[in-house]
Each structure stands twice: as structure tokens, then as C-alpha cells.
Amino acid sequence: MRAQKLTLAALALVAGLSLTACQGDEDTNGSGPAASQEAGGSGGSDAQDGSGGSGGSGGDKAGSGAEADGDNAEAPDDAPGSGGGQINTGPCKTANLQFRATHGMGEGNVLVSMKNTGDACSLKGFPGVDLKADGGPGGISAERSDLAAPSVVVKSGEETRFTLHYPPNNSGGSGVKIDRLVVTPPNETHSKTVMIGLDLPATDDSTVEGLTVDPVGTGKQ
């Protein structure tokens, strides 16, 4: 009888151990999918956050690029008025001056105009003026007057003048027929020829009394 009780107790112990082992397997299997689900959830969340972060940074870069382009558009290097407009106020060059001679209102005066075709430049002083006779050798040089010489700035397209004074031929005899002036601007060595018709008293000298030139920028402009 005692042996039968021991056998039943042993069977009960074995059955209890088997039940415990089965429950342990079920717990283990149950924790696997749950853990997998949690890992999948957290992984998806991390991936979503990561893609959103990279998209945000890309947007920031695009925005900064647009701002840089906007800055460049506001002040381009070749914008009108940013590189050009440089003015040269050095001495005027003969090559950039157009000459024209006309008779003045009073007898014995010639107005010589000089138009600037280059950049703005300056003139100060007396021009050199040689009067050439039609078919005659050499020429007659004008003396400088006593007027003070101002500094004149001549912008592009503008002109300035000087006055040549000469003694008219009132002798009734044959004088010297002048048909051209050779003009050299102040501070220059190159000359230009201007056509004009004058009748001066005959002379054997290279100068004529009363033949004078005023500085540039004086008289009627």
C-alpha cells in the first residue's frame, strides 16, 4: 500500500514538472513575437524619424542656396552703374578733339571751338596757333595775350573755345591770304588743321602785330 502511494506521488511530481516545462515553453514562444513586434515598432519609428530629419536638413540647404542666389541677384557684378562710369580728367588729347573755326561778331576775331569726343578731360593754358598762307611757305605764329588761363573740364560731347585776335587788312593793298590754322591744344604736341579765310596786312616777319590768342575757356563760351 505504501508502495502504491509512492508511485502515485512520483507520477504527480512528474506531471507537475511536465506542466511547468510546457508553461515555460509557452511563455518563451509568447515573448518572442511580442519582442519582435516591439523591435519592429521602434525600428519603424526610428526610420521614419531619420528620413524626416534628412528631409528637413535638405530643405534647409535648399533654402540657404536660394538665399545665396537671392543675394547674388541683388548685386550682380555687371549691374549697370557698378563698374562703368570711370571718368578721365587728365589733359585732353588732340586725337579726341574736333576743331571748328568761325568768324566772331566783331571784325578781327576768330572763335575756335574744340569738341571732346572722348572721356571727360581738362584743358588749361594757351593753345599754339600758326596761320598758314595759301600757297606760301612757313607760317605766322600768334602771340599769347595777357589773360589768365582757367582750368576747364570738358565732358564727353561738350566743347570749349578760345579766341584768336588778328589785325584786318585795311590798307587797301594786297595782304596775306590765310586759309588755314594749325592748332595745338595746351599740354599737347600734336596739332590739327582748321580751315578759315583771313586777310592780314602784308609782312615779312613770322609775327604780325596784334595777332594774339587767348587761353582756352575765356571769352564767350
Q: What is the pLDDT of residues 114-131, one digit of tens each?
A: 999 999 999 999 999 999
C-alpha dist (Å) from residue 55 to 21, 58, 214: 51, 5, 80
Per-residue confidence (pLDDT) for residue 104, from 0 to 100: 86
166 and 195 part of one domain:
yes
- Residue ending a domain, choose from 33, 56, 86: 86
Does a structural domain hold residue 184? yes
pLDDT in tens, 177-216: 899 999 999 999 999 999 999 988 876 666 678 899 999 9
Per-residue confidence (pLDDT) for residue 2, from 0 to 100: 46
Residue type, 97: L
- Residue ending a domain, choose from 86, 105, 122: 86
73 and 102 part of one domain:
no
Q: Find residue 115's DSSP bridge partners.
A: 98, 159
State the Cα–Cα distance between residues 129 and 137, nearest whole angstrom.
16
Over range 35-63, report the average pLDDT: 43
Q: Find residue 90's DSSP bridge partners.
A: none
State the Cα–Cα distance between residues 94 and 35, nearest whole angstrom.
97
State the residue range of the domain holding 64. Answer: 1-86
Return the percentage of the chain with pLDDT > 70, whole number.
Answer: 56
pLDDT in tens, 75-108: 343 333 323 344 557 999 999 999 999 998 878 9
